[in-house]
Amino acid sequence: MRNFNRRNFMRGAGAGLLFAPFLSMLEDRPAKAATKAKRLLLFCTMGTHPTMWAPTASGETITAFSTATMPLAEIRQNIVIVDNCPAHASEGHGSLQGLSGRSFSTSYMATSVDQFVSDGLKAQGVKTPLPVLLVGDGTTLKNPDGGKVQFVRNGTLLFPTGSPKTAYTTVFGNGVPAGMSTDKLKTRRLGVTTLLQDEISEIEKRLGSAERARMELHRQAIQQIELRLGMTGGGGGTSACGAQPMPVDSTSVLTNDHLHLDTIVSAFACDITRVAGIHYGNDQVLPVDLPNLTGNQHSDFIHSGDQDGYQRLMKFEAWLAGEFAYVVKKLASIPEADGSGTLLDNTVVAWCRDMGDALAHNQDSMRFVLASGTNGYLKTSPQGRYIKRGGVKDVDGHERVLLNLCEAMGVTNYSSFGDPQVPAANKKPLDGIAA
């Protein structure tokens, strides 16, 4: 059997941005069972004011969004809101339970769901250049008060990359290599398409009819990329898999967070990573510098102790909801390279928090906003779904929603995830979430 040595050439010949979605086809490994999603994005914030935040619903159908959630109306057909999910043990803000299910008492073993899913994918043979991409402003805001983030591995906090430029170069390198014009890079990549077409012809001889049909979709996508490369003067044309211009770091952490969202979407489109997370501030501080809304989310909004502070918190929550809707709509606008719908159809986006009630500092009522394509993992509804659980510890536990995220990604051995004190009967995803 011929050894496909040109694989290594293609990986290093400037093909990464164009062909990352196809390169896994060249790996000699057994086919894996299909899953409902192949990407996970965690959108992580602090807790909120539960009664002011919650939408209203008739049964599970959302009838009206609150001021805090109004921007989610733009993507209502893609979302499932899950509310009133208590953690196994209720603790203050910064508890590692938010993404790991583990309380402070067992935090030395805590591993967040992003790391758990990434490890599960690697065990299945899913290989990407970046196992996990973690961005946000947790690092730049680290302070003597011990501000915490929710990303954690074996009890060690994983502070995300704060600089959009650094995150971009981690994903894409420096874009066009030094000393190479975009036209020269285009010509080089066109040469790589020819090599890849040759590889496909040889691989097809080894495949059955179903696999050949799927490979033909890849061939057609490559031909479309060739056409766009030939028609444009830039080094990547209008291909969905391409790096946006390198971002410029801002002094505003919220501006930087918005730039991070664009990098995440591009990394997903190029199959550079399957798991990503963005963290808005840490549990001690997040400076807000929006038009007509300024202050520290933690001390000025959550702990202001007055209605004015709570109203400002709701305005900021609406801004966060707008960012969540932005990234969901952007994922929905980009087609998959293999023709299987849009990026959103194969992605689960989860808005997660470190606590449910920020004012009371507890995890008695955790809440999530989940999003996917209407043909994706979630059981969606045109008006949007709002599921208010019964609030019974473990039975309605927030850890079970984290297991829904694992299930969506095809990682279904849950025994080592979360709090070991949760009864085995409840170590399973919540019913009614998945389609």
pLDDT of residue 231: 35
Q: Which residue has the higher pLDDT, 423 or 185?
A: 423
CA dist 34 and 273 (Å) reads 18
pLDDT of residue 404: 98
Tokens of 177: 């290599």
222 and 277 assigned to the same domain: no
Q: Is the pLDDT of residue 355 over 70?
A: yes
Domain coverage including residue 291: 35-175+243-426
Lowest mean pLDDT: which of 2-6, 180-184, 220-224, 262-266? 2-6
CA dist 290 and 394 (Å) reads 38
In a domain, 3, yes or no: no
146 and 222 assigned to the same domain: no
Backbone angles phi, psi at 96, to 5 degrees: -75, 0
The whole-number average pLDDT for the span 122-135 is 95
pLDDT of residue 189: 52
Listing DSSP states for 163-191 in one string gives: -HHHHHHHHHTTSSPTT--HHHHHHHHHH
pLDDT of residue 213: 67
- The neighbour count for residue 106, using CB atoms within 10 Å, is 19
pLDDT band at residue 228 under the 50/70/90 scheme = very low
CA dist 165 and 260 (Å) reads 9
With DSSP H G I counted as helix, E B as strand and the rest as coil, what are the percentages for the chain, rounded to 5?
Answer: 40, 15, 45
Helix boundaries (H) for 288-356:
307-332
196 and 161 assigned to the same domain: no
The whole-number average pLDDT for the span 104-128 is 91
Q: Is the pLDDT of residue 24 over 70?
A: no
Q: CA quadruple 179, 183, 188, 189: dihedral positive or negative?
A: positive
66 and 156 assigned to the same domain: yes
Task: Give Cβ neighbours of residue 13 (< 8 Å, ≥ 6 apart).
Answer: 188, 191, 192
**Structural domains in the chain (count):** 2
Q: Is the pLDDT of residue 143 over 90?
A: no
CA dist 90 and 87 (Å) reads 6
Query: What pLDDT digit, counting tens, does each position of 389-408 carry?
Result: 999 999 999 999 999 999 99
Query: What pLDDT digit, counting tens, does each position of 293-340 carry?
Result: 999 888 889 887 777 888 999 999 999 999 999 999 999 999 998 888
Boundary-marking domain end, from 193, 209, 242: 242
Q: Which residue has the higher pLDDT, 164 or 173?
A: 164
pLDDT of residue 337: 84
266 and 403 assigned to the same domain: yes
Task: Give Cβ neighbours of residue 51 (< 8 Å, ≥ 6 apart).
Answer: none
Instruction: Return the CA Rg of the chain.
Output: 22
Query: What pLDDT digit, counting tens, does each position of 170-182 carry?
Result: 998 865 444 544 4
Boundary-marking domain end, from 192, 223, 242: 242
CATH number of the CATH domain containing 330:
3.40.720
**Strand ranges for 21-94 from DSSP E:** 39-45, 56-58, 61-64, 79-85
CA dist 403 and 87 (Å) reads 13
> Would the pTM count as exceeding 0.75?
yes
In a domain, 349, yes or no: yes
CA dist 58 and 135 (Å) reads 37
pLDDT band at residue 215 under the 50/70/90 scheme = low
Residues comprising the chain, all counted: 435
pLDDT of residue 124: 94
255 and 184 assigned to the same domain: no
Q: Which residue has the higher pLDDT, 19 or 57?
A: 57
Q: Label the pairing between strands 366-371 and 347-353.
A: antiparallel
Boundary-marking domain end, from 242, 270, 291: 242
The whole-number average pLDDT for the span 108-131 is 94
